[in-house]
Structure 1
Amino acid sequence: MARILPLEAALEPALDLLEAGQVIAIPTETVYGLAADATNGEAVARIFETKGRPHFNPLIVHVCDMAMAETIAQFDETSRRLAESFWPGPLTLVLPLRDGHDIHPLVTAGLKTVALRMPIGFGRDVIARLHRPLAAPSANTSGRISPTNAKAVDDDLGAKIGLVVDGGATNIGVESTIVKVADDGVRILRPGGLTAEQIGDVLGLELGRGGGSGIEAPGMLASHYAPDAAVRLDASEVRQHEALLAFGPHRVTGAETATAMLNLSPTGDLGEAAANLYAHLKALDAVGASAIAVEPIPLDGLGEAINDRLRRAAAPRGDDILPE
């Protein structure tokens, strides 16, 4: 299994491995990331190999400051305003690549754009010391449940990587929100830890949803974030041999017959639900139920991101399935 080090002991070992072109797992405020030097093709290839990730699915590039970001991408006025408002934080911006950038082509999967984010905490610190950006998708086997603690990373990828930096449980629990400013307006390509309402309040406009045809950014595959068990959404009852992923104070019919039950938030708090989502899915999957029934979850605020992840977890399995 991987070496697991607490934050206070991890910076120098992390830098040594990254300098050597290796991949490591690091905590962020959203989920744990599988990080490597975004300018090193061999290192980036190790991310794809370790995750079993298809090469047509691009990676998010993480930076430590705006100066680094502007060596990689071209910022329009609206994107700059969003970066100033929400970086560091759970916002990823899809931007045109700048001439002369040093991001390896594997990272962008041949696109003329790049997905950029500035994380909070350890990731930002290690990038500042490395003086190079990191490519860092979620630290899990491709298509499976994203990890929100060091043990989840170790259980999945521990035999394939040399270091997991243990920063405890992540604060937000779902991936970053991916936004693209286009000719037809500002669109959310993937809902996440920053809500549409928060972004809309800054810009004073309503955001669109989704992209064009094909993959424009990470996290857009139709099947993703999936446990071994089937996932059944908006359940009104629990069927035989099902586990129950509950939400709020009121239960669906047959809840008492569930193989196992975990509640994302007994009080109906969407922030708590987002933070618990992946850990609860992983725990329910471990009981060996035939399926996981999911109680309805509101679509407002962080509920949009939670429902997005659950829809992808319930979709037909296979990383080669593109979004509609």
Structure 2
Amino acid sequence: MCRGSEADAFPALTLPRIGPTQTRRAKRQDSPPPGSSVPHRSPEFARIEAATDEAIRLAADHIRQGLLIAFPTETVYGLGADATRGQAVAAIYEAKGRPSFNPLIAHVDSIAMAETLVVFDPLSRRLAETFWPGPLTLVLPMRSDCPVSSLATAGLDTLAVRMPSHKVALGLIRAAGVPIVAPSANTSGHVSPTSAAHVYGDLSRRVPLILDGGRTEVGLESTILQVRDDIPYLLRPGGLAREEIEAVAGVAVVRSEGDPSAAPVAPGMLASHYAPRARVRLDARRVEPDEALLAFGGTVVRGAQEAKRVLNLSPSGSLREAAANLFDMLRRADGDDVAGIAVAPIPTHGLGEAIRDRLTRAAAPR
């Protein structure tokens, strides 16, 4: 079992305990106040700083002091803390309103750093050597001397680890000198953030510093994989398509759905997740007048001209472009003036599997 710091036993902090199919919502601001890239220097509000070398060093100082910071990765923006400090990890759960049974991903700067935390089997190592840095998370057995806080693992004997490819994320981990746990930087259950403005809208009063690295490139969270008995199980589809994994693994990737009533073994497995305020309706062939429309390619959806607004995930039908636009367009389609968001049919191959996974969870009852 991973041995976290003595702060893991910190008694005064009450973590949110929410049922597996529930989420906690908090009132959000939609965007930073206009006119400044650094809104509200007051300690009550987050600072948004361009991700310069100086700002990365400042963020690393925050991490070493046990504070939270938000930072860009190639997938989505993360809410980061020192993985080895129990109080810092607890602060992530508190800031997001995240259920404490939902484990976190430890971000590392190299396979060598990962080896201080977990034990690689041969296939997992081959996948890491092929796809790291990049949008692949591996769930692996922890070393007996793993320094990561047990809060980050939700009491499991496994740890999810990933090496991001974004230069700001890697620079931050290296400057901090510790693995950084970082779920998406949004309130739990809401649409994931792909820009600093999205983070500010959700967490402006809960995180002191946001590193602005522009829009994320991939736009979907990482693919999460666990190898058991030499078989790769897909726990969460994401920014790395299963076809790419199978080409390296030499065997089929098996989708692991899990028990929806049980606590998850990896992030992103809750039935309701990634949800805007408005209801989401999939595979729409017609849009109602009180709905917004998320279109895809040249697919014709009847009633589109009457929709509250129309956003096309990819006019050219590119799944990579659609993935990069998904969360931003879900946020833009949402609003008090819409009763629902109709989504045109999305293919299921390649990154379409991950896009449909996010939309299915966004459409789930909540």
So what's the TM-score if we normalise by structure 2? Answer: 0.85
User: Is contact 2:231–2:251 with CA below 8 Å preserved after alignment?
Assistant: no
Aligned counterparts of 1:135 and 1:185: Cα–Cα separation in 2: 26
Q: CA deviation at 1:50?
A: 0.4
Residue 128 of structure 1 corresponds to 174
Q: CA deviation at 1:240?
A: 3.0
Q: CA deviation at 1:287?
A: 5.5
Query: 1:179 pairs with 221, 225, 250, which one?
Result: 225
Q: CA deviation at 1:163?
A: 0.4
Taking every aligned residue pair, what percent have the same amino acid on both sides?
57
Residue 206 of structure 2 corresponds to 160
SS of structure 2 residue aligned to 1:94: strand
Residue 208 of structure 1 corresponds to 254
Residues 186-214 of structure 1 deviation map (CA, whole Å, 9 limit, x = unaligned): 11100000000110111121110015433
User: What amino acid does structure 1 have at the position aligned with 2:115?
Assistant: E
User: Is contact 1:38–1:104 with CA below 8 Å preserved after alignment?
Assistant: yes
Aligned counterparts of 1:103 and 1:276: Cα–Cα separation in 2: 33
| 2:127 is the counterpart of 1:82 | yes
Aligned counterparts of 1:53 and 1:198: Cα–Cα separation in 2: 31
Residue 146 of structure 1 corresponds to 192
Query: 2:117 pairs with 72, 76, 91, which one?
Result: 72
Residue 139 of structure 2 corresponds to 94
User: Is contact 1:229–1:288 with CA below 8 Å preserved after alignment?
Assistant: no
Residue 12 of structure 2 corresponds to none
SS of structure 2 residue aligned to 1:107: coil
Q: CA deviation at 1:184?
A: 6.8
User: What amino acid does structure 2 have at the position aligned with 1:78?
Assistant: L
User: What amino acid does structure 1 have at the position aligned with 2:290?
Assistant: H
User: What amino acid does structure 1 have at the position aligned with 2:85?
Assistant: N
SS of structure 2 residue aligned to 1:44: helix
Residue 229 of structure 1 corresponds to 278
Q: CA deviation at 1:183?
A: 2.2
Query: 2:335 pairs with 247, 269, 286, which one?
Result: 286
Residue 76 of structure 2 corresponds to 31
Aligned counterparts of 2:214 and 2:170: Cα–Cα separation in 1: 17
Residue 7 of structure 1 corresponds to 51
User: What amino acid does structure 1 have at the position aligned with 2:286?
Assistant: E
| 2:111 is the counterpart of 1:62 | no
Give 4+ residue runs of structure 1 displaced > 6 Å after superposition.
none
Query: 2:356 pairs with 293, 304, 307, which one?
Result: 307
Q: CA deviation at 1:288?
A: 2.5
User: What amino acid does structure 2 have at the position aligned with 1:192?
Assistant: G
Residues 248-279 of structure 1 deviation map (CA, whole Å, 9 limit, x = unaligned): 11321111110111000001000000000000
Which 10-residue stretch deviates more, 230-239 or 178-187?
178-187
Aligned counterparts of 1:72 and 1:63: Cα–Cα separation in 2: 10
Which 10-residue stretch deviates more, 178-187 or 26-35?
178-187
Aligned counterparts of 1:227 and 1:175: Cα–Cα separation in 2: 17
SS of structure 1 residue aligned to 2:100: coil
Aligned counterparts of 1:139 and 1:177: Cα–Cα separation in 2: 17
Q: CA deviation at 1:129?
A: 1.8
SS of structure 1 residue aligned to 2:245: helix
User: Is contact 1:187–1:211 with CA below 8 Å preserved after alignment?
Assistant: no
Residue 316 of structure 1 corresponds to 365
User: What amino acid does structure 2 have at the position aligned with 1:54?
Assistant: P
**Structure with greater helix share of residues:** 1
Residues 204-258 of structure 1 deviation map (CA, whole Å, 9 limit, x = unaligned): 2111001543311111000000000000011110113011011011321111110
Residues 11-56 of structure 1 deviation map (CA, whole Å, 9 limit, x = unaligned): 1210121111111100000000000000000000110000000000
